[in-house]
Amino acid sequence: MLICLANAHRLSGITFTIMNRIFVLLAMMALTLTLTGQTVSPALQQINVAADAASIYPTTQRGPLVGVTAETDDDYSATSAAYYDAIRRAGGIPVIIPVDTTTAYLNQVIGQLDGLLLVGGVDVNPVYYGEKPHEKLGAVDGLRDVNELKLIRLAVNRNIPIMGVCRGCQILNVAMGGTLIQDIPSQVEDHSLNHRGSFGNMREHSVGIENGSLLYKILGKDSLEVNSSHHQAVKDPAPGAHIDARASDGVIEAYDYYPLRRIIGVQWHPEGFWGTDADMNKIYEFFVGQADLYRQAKQLHSQMLTFDSHTDAPLHFVNGRAVLGTRCKNRVNLPKMQEGMLDSQVLAAFVPSYDDVMKNGEYVEVFRALCDTTYQPAWKRTLQLIDITRSEVEKNSDLCGIALNDKDVARLKAQGKKAIFLAVENGLGIGTDINRVKTLADMGIKYITLTHSWDNQICRSSSKSEDSSKGLTDFGKKVVKEMNRHGIIIDLSHCSEGTFWDVMKVSKKPVVCTHSGARALCDHDRNLTDRQLKALAANGGVVQTVAYRWFLAKDGNATIDDFVKHLDYMVKVAGIDHVGIGSDFDGGAGIPGLDGDNDMINITMRLLEMGYTKEDIAKIWGGNFFRVMNAQ
């Protein structure tokens, strides 16, 4: 101790402070032992001091928590130290996942993770890709297969970054819908390479890396000398996979799903070269970096309120195709909200216009009864959709509740519940009875989209209008004023430009476009011009970026890349305080990378990658819309 103090002048201020605290800790421990009369061995005391001193060090941000799969035997689950050592050295915190097949338990485990590493091991049972066992099939582990297939499914549902190594690469391909070569020596004609060589740092053969692939971007080279210890390999890549590398005999050595899914598989063992090969290090560093990005996104979602301003889920409640509390094919439900860490969402009561019913064949059978110019059937349909939504919420009251404002969202979130907002898409049901505006307000309706794809008694539509240069009718102007009076937000998505400008003159409150895009990026009448975006900002309103493919790309081939381009463009034109997110899920929207509530966290990861600050992301994710909501 005296030696350390004598050299204290050589230490930095923070180091000196830490050392001083350790000395105090040692002295206190010695005093405690003296007073209690305990005798502790010097070896144990040294360990205790080191452990206790950990809490003295300045707080640092933890690395991402990466689950590592394991091999199993009768009485243990274990894995090679090389895997978790590579994760640790790359900045992650590895945890071994026991080989257990209890779905509820695995779901809890996955919910804590930021990344999933699937490691090497025995063969994968071909029953999972619809084939009979080959005569050269090696040993399989049925328990481990089920364990890992469930883990993959749960991780993919949550968009957790995944890396598969060797067997992990193979079972990952199977889980995603691909098939395997069951035995390379008997099923691959070219026998020039040894795939059954070393697991460690012995290089067996080279792989050719596809120019422009993810692996090429990671390594910056078109070939790599690798180790090799496998006799199975990917045969048919799963749908959506990109082939990154092949061996000279044609065997697939690496694939990925970026940028839509943060998934990568490599057939060799890069961890075998850790510390001796910078290229191999880069593969684990990349994966751990993706896991850390996911960790940051999760942390943000836990701290801010997230809000999606438009879905058409109630339509599917009525026809029986979906229920709120069950994870089903529909894009909107509570389990998917939980997976995507989405706090709140609008479930809008969508009522088609009469012309939708009469001229669009897909609506004829379902909505034939709405063809009544008294407006009563449309009003009845509006109330029916609101009622069934409330009923779905009540059935799942342990998981969600109706919200009227951001305070309700915060309260429900603190209780571990999701918040559901009510709205009406198409004011057709108001008919000519202005008192129905108050009725809807009393029912908790937060906004009304004035029209849909055709003109109605309130205003002109953007899509199939007789004259889109025209706007509000005389009755429509009364509706706008009444909505202002009763605190219902005016939604201008689907409205003609004439309607947009009329509302800007009539409304005394900020307005919104709950699911629209940028006309400059995709020339569609449902999108907003730069002039409209600037006017919306001047009004104090907000435009919510839509995930509908035809509004994002003229050819309809849109992905989450196009979504964030529209969002970013509108931020640049309207300002960071006037842009948000309105998916239009279950109303025709859904694109690769953003195809349901569970994919919502992907938006946050994209925004972080683009350099958006936490404060700006919080505005986009709900802060801006809640400001408008509170201003009514």
pLDDT per residue as tens digits for the range 261-298: 999 999 999 999 988 999 999 999 999 999 999 999 99
pLDDT confidence of 2, banded at 50, 70, 90? very low
* 8 Å CB contact between 195 and 237: no
The sign of the dihedral angle between the CA atoms of 306, 309, 311, 317 is: positive
List the end-to-end C-alpha distance of the chain, in Å, as a whole number: 67
- Say yes or no to pLDDT of 35 above 50: no
The pLDDT assigned to 8 comes to: 38
The pLDDT assigned to 159 comes to: 98
φ, ψ at 295 (rounded to 5°): -60, -45
- Of 424, 537, 535, the C-alpha closest to 479 is 424
CATH code linked to domain 305-630: 3.20.20.140
Q: Where in the chain is the domain with CATH 3.40.50.880?
A: 65-297
The pLDDT assigned to 57 comes to: 60
pLDDT confidence of 90, banded at 50, 70, 90? very high
Query: Partners of 263 in the beta sheet?
Result: 162
- Say yes or no to pLDDT of 130 above 80: yes
Query: Partners of 369 in the beta sheet?
Result: none
- Say yes or no to pLDDT of 374 above 90: no
**440 contact partners, CB below 8 Å, separation of at least 6:** 382, 424, 430, 448, 488
- Say yes or no to pLDDT of 25 above 80: no
**Which CATH class name applies to 65-297?**
alpha beta
φ, ψ at 137 (rounded to 5°): -60, 135
- Of 548, 493, 495, the C-alpha closest to 522 is 548
Q: Where in the chain is the domain with CATH 3.20.20.140?
A: 305-630
pLDDT confidence of 503, banded at 50, 70, 90? very high
Six-digit token pair at 245? 């590398």
Per-residue pLDDT reduced to its tens digit, 554-605: 999 999 999 999 999 999 999 999 999 999 999 999 999 999 999 999 999 9
pLDDT confidence of 38, banded at 50, 70, 90? low
